[in-house]
Amino acid sequence: MGTVDYSLYLVTDSTPTILGERDLVEVVEAALAGGVTVVQYRDKVSDTAVLVSTARKLHTVTQKHNVPLLINDRIDVALAVGCEGVHIGQDDLDLLTARRLLGNKAVIGVTVSTIEEALKACKDGANYLGIGTVFGTATKTNTKHIIGTAGTKEILKAIATEGRDVRTVCIGGINSSTVQRVLYQASDRKKKLDGVAIVSAIIAANDPKKAAEELLHLVKTPPSFA
């Protein structure tokens, strides 16, 4: 698939409070038409058969847009579907094992909220880090750490100091009102964020295509206060 563009990273949520009565694949297709650059299928409730069949449908649409599909937590589902990779948290199967199972071409991302977690993930060969939680969010209430833009910046600084080559996105409470400030305040002089990961500001939007277009524009435009 070549180099991954992390600018606007969509994380899915199929719970009725966020997705409503809509069809997840249709919402993701609209978001792709609006310009999202990575899709992570995150579903903590469906059984394995539903996960595999939904992931297959999502992969068909992401492939049309030449965008990588990553599966949250479930290496087995990623293997079954043959998609581009996975996103794992600190309590999931460890990165080295995931790499052994998926191979060197797979994209593997890890959630980190401390400098130690970030440096370990880099050492173990993560392709990218999902840094957060930046701001508290109703989408994920069991977050271990709310680290703010200051905590995000500390992590980026530590990665730069160690000279690690890893891509980075941050996650948690990011929407069109916060995105430019997050990118500006969190980025370290030597290590900038590569993008933002977003759930509700796209999935719960009335018009997911328009929401993605607007967010991508904001990510790509230097803010007036910079």
Residues of the shown chain interacting with ligand TZP in the complex, contacts defined by CB under 6 A: 11, 132-133, 137, 139-140, 143, 171-174, 198-201
CA 119 to CA 164: how far, in whole Å?
8
By CB under 5 A, is residue 89 in contact with Mg ion? yes
By CB under 5 A, is residue 154 in contact with Mg ion? no
Compute the least distance from the CB of residue 139 to ligand TZP, in Å: 3
Which of the stretches 19-27, 74-82, 85-93, 96-104 binds Mg ion when contact is defined by CB under 5 A?
A: 85-93
Compute the least distance from the CB of residue 75 to ligand TZP, in Å: 18
Decide which of ligand TZP, Mg ion, none touches 76; Cβ closer than 5 to 8 Å per partner kind: none
Decide which of Mg ion, ligand TZP, none touches 89; Cβ closer than 5 to 8 Å per partner kind: Mg ion
Q: Which is nearer to ligand TZP, 63 or 114 (CB)?
A: 114
